[in-house]
């Protein structure tokens, strides 16, 4: 569980973030106009990193919740605990962010059950309030509070689709994979590999993207490239590094894995 102390959620050093387009401008505008943010994009495309950067830029604390299907409303809003015979109320991360005018980032929102996520609705429209039922309290969000969700719209389970009614309350930012030169820059920076090495990794990623029809819903993400690069930088032979970080993680289909392996061995 994330820290209860809001001070610990401030980001003090500038995170490395390489802008893809004008996402920062849009996000700042959304903040200014108190409109919640929906980050769309495949996994590992920089959504979390972007939120860190945004929080740093705004000087607001960032409270991140990774959603999963066991997440309960209490996990978000808060609960009473017993301490030394006394009951104490403990703010959940969402409440914490609302109370202190922070940014609450619900990562992978579709993983949470729908009955859990209803609590964000009054926060997401212009009421901007959070009812804390157990305390009989309704918290009004200060201007600095911002709600952000992330969601991966890729070809995936219909069970996990985001409802249009939810979606329409947000400003949606699409963070796809960055353009090749930018992506190479990121990989080089994060993994500590040379520009050429990073470029080659990006080329590999490109080969694996766009194979949806062939049964690969998502290609290698920036994150995977960074993993591969990190292994390479620590001396692991490139083919092996790519195999363990990329081909084996992308699919279980033997033919696809084999084909990706062939791409790797063509490049390295």
Partner 1 sequence: MYGVQQPTMTSTTQEHMAGQLAAIIPEAELNSWELEELLDCLNELDSRHQELVLHQISVIWPVSHSLCLAFLEAVQPALECLAADQLAAWVRGILDRYESQGLKEARRFMADLDSHFVCKLRGETGLLLSAIKGRLGLYLRGVAGRPFDLERATQPGTDTVTIFLPRSLAVFSNDQDNFLIYKLLASLQWAFVRGNLYCHEVKDERGLFAKLGPAWQADTDSEVFLDRFFQPFARPELAMAIYHFLHTVRALAFLQQRLPGLMSDSRPYFQLMARNSPPAGTAFLAAEYAELLEQLGAGQPLHLPAGSISRHCQPQRRQDDDQGIFLDTAAIYQAAAKTSPLAPAPDFQGSLTVERAHKRRQARRQEVEQQFIEALSIRILPAVATSREDDAGPETGPDQPQQPDSGANLSLRLPGDQEESRDRDQSAEHPVRHVRLDDESIELDSRLQELGREIMDDLGHLPQLYLDSAAKMAAGRSYEPGLSTSPQEGTPLTGTNLYDEWDFRRQGFRHNWCHLLEKDIQPSGGTFISTTLTEHRGVIKQLKRQFEQMRSHHRFIGRQRDGDDIDLDALTEAVADQRAGLPASERLFIRQLRDERDIAALFLVDMSSSTEGWVGKTIKESLLVMAEAMESLGDRYAIYGFSGMRRTRSEVFRVKEMSEPYGTTVQGRIAALSPKDYTRMGPPIRHFSKLLAGVEARVRLLIILTDGKPEDYDDYKGEYAIEDSRHALIEAKLLGIHPFCITVDHTAHDYISHLFGEVNYLFLDDVKKLPRRLPDIYRILTT
**DSSP conformational letter for 160:** G
| Residue 222 touches which member of partner 1, Mg ion, ligand ADP, none, C-beta under 5-8 Å by kind | ligand ADP
Assess contact for 166 and 121: CB atoms under 8 A: yes
The reply to whether 190 sits near ligand ADP by the rule CB under 6 A is yes
Cα 220 from Cα 245, distance rounded (Å) = 9
Q: Provide the minimum distance between the beta carbon of 65 and Mg ion in the complex, in angstroms, as a whole number.
A: 11
Cα 160 from Cα 148, distance rounded (Å) = 18
Report the residue from 4, 29, 210, 248 that binds partner 1 according to the rule CB under 8 A.
210
What proportions of the chain, in percent to the nearest 5, are helix, strand and coil? 50, 15, 35
Report the residue from 20, 45, 48, 95 that binds Mg ion according to the rule CB under 5 A.
48
Please work out the total of residues on this chain that contact partner 1, with binding judged by CB under 8 A: 49
* Interface stretch with partner 1, choices 51-59, 96-104, 118-126, 199-207 (CB under 8 A): 199-207
Give me the half-sphere count of Cα atoms (radius 13 Å) on the Cβ side of residue 117.
25
Cα-only R_g, the chain: 21
**DSSP conformational letter for 224:** H
The reply to whether 171 sits near partner 1 by the rule CB under 8 A is no
The reply to whether 239 sits near partner 1 by the rule CB under 8 A is yes
| Residue 18 touches which member of partner 1, Mg ion, ligand ADP, none, C-beta under 5-8 Å by kind | ligand ADP
Cα 143 from Cα 188, distance rounded (Å) = 38
Site string for ligand ADP, 44-63 (x = CB under 6 A): xxxxxx--------------
The reply to whether 92 sits near ligand ADP by the rule CB under 6 A is no
């Amino acid at each position: 569980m994330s820290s209860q102390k809001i001070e610990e959620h401030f980001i003090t050093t500038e995170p490395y973030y390489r802008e893809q387009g004008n996402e920062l401008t849009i996000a700042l505008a959304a903040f200014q106009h108190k409109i919640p943010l929906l980050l769309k994009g495949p996994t590992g495309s920089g959504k979390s990193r972007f939120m860190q950067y945004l929080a740093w830029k705004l000087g607001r604390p960032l409270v991140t919740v990774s959603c999963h299907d066991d997440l309960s409303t209490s996990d978000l809003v808060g609960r009473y605990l017993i301490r030394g015979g006394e009951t104490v109320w403990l703010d959940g991360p969402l409440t914490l962010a609302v109370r202190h005018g922070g940014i609450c980032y619900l990562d992978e929102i579709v993983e949470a059950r729908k009955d859990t996520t209803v609590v964000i609705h009054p926060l997401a429209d212009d009421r901007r309030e959070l009812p804390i039922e157990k305390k009989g309290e309704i918290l009004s969000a200060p201007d600095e509070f911002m709600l952000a969700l992330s969601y991966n719209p890729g070809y995936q389970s219909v069970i996990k689709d985001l409802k249009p009614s939810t979606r329409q309350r947000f400003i949606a930012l699409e963070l796809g994979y960055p353009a090749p030169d930018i992506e190479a820059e990121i990989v080089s920076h994060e993994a500590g590999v040379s520009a050429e090495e990073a470029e080659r990794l990006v080329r590999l990623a490109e080969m694996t993207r766009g194979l949806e029809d062939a049964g690969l819903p998502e290609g290698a993400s920036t994150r995977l490239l960074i993993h591969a690069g990190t292994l390479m930088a620590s001396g692991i032979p490139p083919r092996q590094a790519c195999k363990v970080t990329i081909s084996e993680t992308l699919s279980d289909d033997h033919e696809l894995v084999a084909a990706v392996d062939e791409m790797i061995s063509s490049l390295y």
